[in-house]
Amino acid sequence: SQTIHQWPATLVQPVGSPLSLECTVEGTSNPNLYWYRQAAGRGLQLLFYSVGIGQISSEVPQNLSASRPQDRQFILSSKKLLLSDSGFYLCAWSVRQLLGNTIYFGEGSWLTVV
């Protein structure tokens, strides 16, 4: 069966520090991978999605970047965090053809920028 895991689960970082959130998927090949952000427990905002190694599409211009160094690994990064980057970050995967298929989420990472 497929599993998705992201870490760290919680993170408290000072303003201006770097960020790295990691996500891995097991049990599937060539998945679509996604990073979402959720603020205040409502509304998911798609940040990045990837359909293959090195292929990243950004949905919202921001202080963050994403990379996909391996087929089942997705990394969310920042060089210098802002207070507004605080939130709940969710990694997700789906099979390549989202149409007709569902999306699965990781456990989430709580980021607090202080």
Partner 1 sequence: GIQVEQSPPDLILQEGANSTLRCNFSDSVNNLQWFHQNPWGQLINLFYIPSGTKQNGRLSATTVATERYSLLYISSSQTTDSGVYFCAVTPMDSNYQLIWGAGTKLIIKP
- Binding site residues, partner 1, CB under 8 A: 32, 34, 41-44, 46, 49, 51, 88, 90, 94, 96-105, 107-108, 110
Closest CB to partner 1 among residues 73, 105: 105
> Closest CB to partner 1 among 19 and 91?
91
3-state secondary structure of 62: coil
Rounded distance between C-alpha atoms, residue 29 and residue 7, angstroms: 21
- Give the nearest distance from C-beta 16 to partner 1 in angstroms: 26
Contact 49, 33 (CB under 8 A): yes
